[in-house]
Amino acid sequence: MRAFLFCGGILYRRCRSVRLGAVALGWAAVAHSAEQSFSSGNHRVALIELFSSEGCSSCPPAERWLGELRSAPGLWRDFVPVAFHVDYWNRLGWPDRFSTREFTERQYAWAKSAGSASVYTPCFVRDGAEWRPQNGPLAPGGVAGVLNLVVGDDGVCRVEFYPGDREASLDVHVAVLGGGFLSNVTAGENRGAKLPQEFVALALVDHALAAGAATHRAEFPLPQAQITDAARRAVVAWVTRRGELSPLQAVGGWLK
């Protein structure tokens, strides 16, 4: 079986690899004037993940493609894009400031779940499956239950998921994204390049959802990003079964 995370050979010049060793919101009655609410609706919203690095010369075309989704009509309604910057190419001379070991480990986990010994950049995953942007729709459709996310003016996230079918143990994952970056790369494989970046994951938290009769809920602080110079910010959330990586539903939107 080939690597679960793959490189779009048609879209990109070359690849690099590393071996591995509608439902109402329950809080409407106490809504705050400055809070922001996001709802997936009952249709499936696709989670599009890009594993990338500013230190890899194969990644800029993938990053540009992802950035162009900012003007796509289905953004947030049909799909949620997230760029996870990995840190294993930092050794080539350019320390990608968006990269973290946490995001690298996430990519390792994807590869391991498919029995692969390799990870690649740039690599796309759509709803837990390998995917090439040129080979299929951004949003495959279907019904997935309703995921609601409220970000209060107190900085607290409130999540509700109505799965439709009975689910036992679920987790929610919330990421703050940044966009409008322009990196002036002065070393490594992309030396001399100016790289625009959109939908970059700046902070990520995972929390268990408490199961109720028809809904699963959680409440926790919005994750705080250490990088604060984003021209625009967004928040995204997705729900998984406990211990799994594939999302059941996703939601997202721009933060004011």
Query: Residue 29 has what DSSP assignment?
Result: G
First to last CA, the chain: 44
Q: Is there a contact between 226 and 155 (Cβ–Cβ < 8 Å)?
A: no
Written as six digits, the tokens of 36 are 């922001």
Domain residues for the domain of 72 are: 16-21+32-255
Q: Is there a contact between 38 and 148 (Cβ–Cβ < 8 Å)?
A: yes
Q: What Cα–Cα distance (Å) separates residue 6 from each residue in 91, 102, 149, 245?
A: 21, 19, 31, 17
What pTM, to 2 d.p., does this model score? 0.89
Measured over the CA atoms of residue 181, residue 187, residue 188 and residue 194, the dihedral's sign is: positive
Triad 38, 39, 45: Cα angle to 5°: 115
| SS3 category, 70 | helix
Q: Is residue 9 part of a domain?
A: no
Please give the chain's pLDDT, 256 residues, in tens. 333 343 443 344 444 444 443 333 444 334 445 899 999 999 999 999 999 999 999 999 999 999 999 999 999 999 999 999 999 999 999 999 999 999 999 999 999 988 888 999 999 999 988 898 988 888 888 999 999 999 999 999 999 999 988 888 999 999 999 999 999 999 999 999 999 999 999 999 999 999 988 999 999 999 999 999 999 999 999 999 999 999 999 999 999 9
Q: Is residue 11 part of a domain?
A: no
Number of domains in the chain: 1
CA distance 42 to 160: 13
pLDDT of amino acid 7: 44
Q: Is residue 4 part of a domain?
A: no
pLDDT of amino acid 114: 81
Q: Is residue 159 part of a domain?
A: yes
Q: Is there a contact between 37 and 150 (Cβ–Cβ < 8 Å)?
A: yes
Q: Is residue 62 part of a domain?
A: yes
pLDDT of amino acid 101: 98
pLDDT of amino acid 80: 98
pLDDT of amino acid 99: 98
CA 27 to chain centre: 26
User: How would you classify residue 243: left for phi > 0, otherwise alpha for psi between -120 and 50, otherwise beta?
Assistant: left
Q: Is there a contact between 79 and 92 (Cβ–Cβ < 8 Å)?
A: no
Q: Is residue 96 part of a domain?
A: yes
Q: Is residue 27 part of a domain?
A: no
Measured over the CA atoms of residue 159, residue 164, residue 168 and residue 174, the dihedral's sign is: negative
Q: Is residue 184 part of a domain?
A: yes
Radius of gyration of the chain (CA): 18
